[in-house]
Every structure is written in C-alpha cells, then in structure tokens.
Amino acid sequence: MSQTQQNTNGTSAPAAEVRPKSDLEKLIQEKPLNTLAFEPQNITDGIRLAEYYIDSGLLPRSIQNPAAIMIIAHQGRELGLSFLRSLRGIHIIEGKPALSAELARELAHRAGAKVEFILSTTTKCTCRVTAADGRKIEVTWTTKHENDDWQSAERASLLGKGPWKTYPAAMLRARASGDAIRALVPEALGGLYLVEEVEGSGGETNFEPAPLAERRVAAPIVTLAERQNAASVRLKAATEILGKEVAAKIAGPRPEKGWTEWMEQSATKLEAEVAKRAAENDRPPLEPEGPTSTDFWAAAERTGLPKEEILNILRGATGGVEDPKLAGPDGLRAAIADLEKAMPKKEAPRG
C-alpha cells in the first residue's frame, strides 16, 4: 500500500521513502560525542591540544607525553567518548589503559543496561545489572570471606591495602559493578579492565609507569612548563650580559611552533657566546695586544660623562654589549674611539 503526504497546494504526493540507517549511523546515534566540547578534527590538532594539556601540569603523572594522550583519546573515541572525557575516565595503570569505575557504569548505561546497588556498606555490596533485553545478574563483593558464591577482598588478598583500608565501600562498589557489567554487557567496556581490577593496582589511579624490565632508573619527569621556566631563566641571564640586540641576533626570530625547543636552543647559543667572549678576553693575545676593559674605563673617566651615557656609547659600539670585559678587542677599540669623539674639546687660548 502506497503512502501519501499532503502538499501545501492541497494536492497529494507520494511520501518520501525512509532510508534505513547504516550501522555507522546507528553507532553514532547510540554513542554520540559531546558536540559542545572542543574536539580536534585531525591528528595535528589532537597533538597540539595534547601539548596544551601536558603544559598545564594538571594531568596525572603517568601521562608524560602527547603520544600517551593520543592513545587514551583514541581508545576513548572507540567507546564514543569526547577527548577530555577520555582523559578524565581512562587511566594508565602499569602501562595499560584502564577504566574508572564511574566511567564503566556510564558506558553500561549508554549500552542500555541498568546498574543498581541493592546493598552498599563498608563490608558488603551487591550490584544488579539489567540488560536492555531483560537479562539480569547480581554480583556480591564483601571485605571478608563469607560465602563461596561471593567474591571478597580477603580472598583476593586486597583487604587492608591502599584504598581498601580507607575507602572500602567505594572499592566494593567498583568491584561488584565491574564484575556484573563485564559478565552481562562486556561490549560496553570495549575490552578494557577497570582500574580496580588491574592486578597490583590496589584501586589507586594516576600511577607512575611500571619499571622497565631492565630495571633501569627512570628519568625524572619534566613538564613543558618546567622546561620553559628553566630556559627563560637562562635566556634572561645571558641577555643581561650580551645585551638585547646581540641576544636577538644570535637567537633569531621566534618560530610559530616548537617554541620550547627554540628557547632551549637559543639559551644554549647565548651561553656559548658568553663563554666565548669571556675566554677571548682572558686568553693571551696572539696578535699585538688590543685595548682592555681597563683602557675603556680610563678613556671613560677622561670624558667626564655620566656612567649611563658611557654605557650607551659602549652598547652602540659593540651592538648591545653592556660589560666591557665581554666586548672583545675590536669592540673596545670602537668604543674608546667613540668616547674620544664625545670628549669635550678644549678651547684654544686667546692671544
């Protein structure tokens, strides 16, 4: 039987056929991303956003570089999560991604399941999960072993360890709901374990990465902010010695990207120039000895000019150097010549 719809002019026209949704459209509808959140559109944007998160210093210590953030974000995207929601709910435990208990329950609800806590105390928790098709399961966790049909922290050798000692009720809820969700709707978890389920985690999050098999000593974790602060201090110290103009010429223009590396490289270049000028001033001359800083100050004293004006003459003759000890023979020679030009001329005696 054909279907019709009423046009604006009152005539009838065949109704448009409803195209069945593809599997991809169904997946997007079932697991929509937060459209109000800022989401990178490609790998480049993702890495740039990851660098900002690393620079903030607010991420867990287990996330050391943008690559780790991209792995977490990619894992979260497969579960239908936004970039930032992935970072909040997926943790790196012993080098592997794991879900927080709250995120696991959220994913179960997204899959159409209903998660309920029938009982929740500091010693016992019973969680019931009901799937969309009506299937049900109940899982009970206790602190001490009471029943062979129940899981217990004591039997799993977790009792009294870490958060099991301080937050037993939360840990019981995490283990009971995690077991129930995995048993009834495992597809909701995307093949990931909960943080509390990872062997040896004790339920804690934000771990340091596990030691390498070779038992090498781990290098200290240095954030981008720490690197930038250190480079800034080095740049400022070298610039005060060489002068802004000289420092700017040596460092070159600041790039649009990779400015942390540029700061570090520029600081190294400026420090090398400072060391070079200091060495040239101290080493025995191979050519006839040129003027020294003592000669400069002697010429400056003869001028009778204020110190600031003398330093301005030094800066102008050497391209910004503010310390005559670092000016070098050529720079001092030019500076002394400028001082002599600025020296007041003596009036000729009147006949």
pLDDT tens track for 162-185: 788 888 888 899 999 999 999 999
pLDDT the model gives residue 36? 47
Taking residues 204-233, report their average pLDDT. 50
Pair of tokens at residue 318: 């050497």
| Per-residue confidence (pLDDT) for residue 347, from 0 to 100 | 53
Percent of the chain whose pLDDT exceeds 90: 13
CA angle 226, 231, 232 (to 5 degrees): 95
Mean pLDDT of 178-196: 89
58, part of any domain: yes
**What amino acid is encoded at 239 in this protein?**
T
Q: Is residue 132 part of a domain?
A: yes
Domain ranges, residue 56: 26-197
Indicate if 31 and 175 belong to the same structural domain.
Answer: yes
Instruction: Tell me: pLDDT of 223 over 90.
Output: no
Choose the weakest-confidence range: 43-52, 66-75, 199-208: 199-208
Q: How far is Cα 182 from Cα 162, in angstroms, rounded to an integer? A: 24
Judged against a pLDDT cut of 50, whether residue 265 lies above it is answered with yes
Max intra-chain CA distance, the chain: 131
Single residue among 262, 283, 304 that ends a domain in this structure:
283
Fill in the DSSP letter of residue 194: B
296/333 Cα distance (integer angstroms): 8
In a domain, 351, yes or no: no
Total domains in the chain come to 3
pTM of the model: 0.47
Query: Does residue 218 register a pLDDT over 80?
Result: no
Statement to judge: residues 229 and 302 lie in one domain: no
Report which of residues 223 and 287 the model is more confident about: 223
**Does residue 317 sit within a domain?**
yes
pLDDT grade for 116, boundaries at 50, 70 and 90 = very high
Residue 254 DSSP one-character state: P
- Say if residue 31 is in the same domain as residue 158: yes
> Dihedral of CA 26/30/34/39: which sign?
negative
Of 23-32, 73-82, 103-112, 319-328, which range is least confident? 23-32
Residue 298 lies in a domain: yes
**pLDDT for 124 beyond 60:** yes
Band of residue 252 on the pLDDT scale cut at 50, 70, 90: confident
- Same domain assignment for residues 151 and 48: yes
Q: How confident is the model at residue 129 (pLDDT cuts 50, 70, 90)?
A: very high
On the question of pLDDT at 80 being above 90, the answer is no
Please, are residues 338 and 303 in contact by the beta-carbon 8 Å criterion?
Answer: no
Instruction: Tell me, yes or no, whether 84 and 173 share the same domain.
Output: yes
Q: Which of 239, 255, 283 is the last residue of a domain?
A: 283
What secondary structure letter does DSSP report for 286? S
| Gap between the Cα atoms of 49 and 73, Å rounded | 11
Q: Can you name the residues that pair with 97 across neighbouring β-strands?
A: 92
91: pLDDT strictly greater than 60: yes
The answer to whether residue 316 sits within a structural domain is yes
pLDDT of residue 128: 94
For residue 67, pLDDT over 50 is answered with yes
For residue 54, what pLDDT band results from cuts at 50, 70 and 90?
confident
| Residue 11, pLDDT score | 52
Does residue 181 share a domain with residue 40? yes
Same domain, 123 and 263: no
pLDDT band at 135 (very low <50, low <70, confident <90, very high): very high
Are 177 and 314 contained in the same domain? no
- The reply to whether 11 falls in a domain is no
Residue count (the chain): 351
68 and 145 both lie in a single domain? yes
Q: Rounded to whole angstroms, how far apart are CA atoms 185 and 205?
A: 24
For residue 240, the model assigns a pLDDT of 81
- Tell which of 248, 265, 283 closes a domain: 283
Q: 308 and 193 in one domain?
A: no
What per-residue confidence (pLDDT) applies to 5?
46
Whether 269 and 304 share a structural domain: no
Query: Angle 328-342/307-318 helices, nearest 10 degrees?
Result: 130
Same domain assignment for residues 153 and 102: yes
In a domain, 204, yes or no: no
- pLDDT tops 70 at residue 89: yes
Write out pLDDT tens, residues 301-332: 888 888 888 888 888 887 777 778 777 777 78
Q: By three-state DSSP, how is residue 150 classified?
A: coil
Kindly report, residue by residue over 274-286, the tens digit of the pLDDT.
Answer: 888 877 765 444 4
Give residue 214's pLDDT.
32
Q: What average pLDDT does this structure show over 19-41?
A: 53
Rounded to an integer, the average pLDDT of 194-216 is 48
pLDDT at 20 over 70: no
Q: 14 pairs with which residues across the strands? A: 4
Distance of CA 58 to the CA centre of its chain: 8
pLDDT class of 212 with cuts at 50, 70, 90:
very low
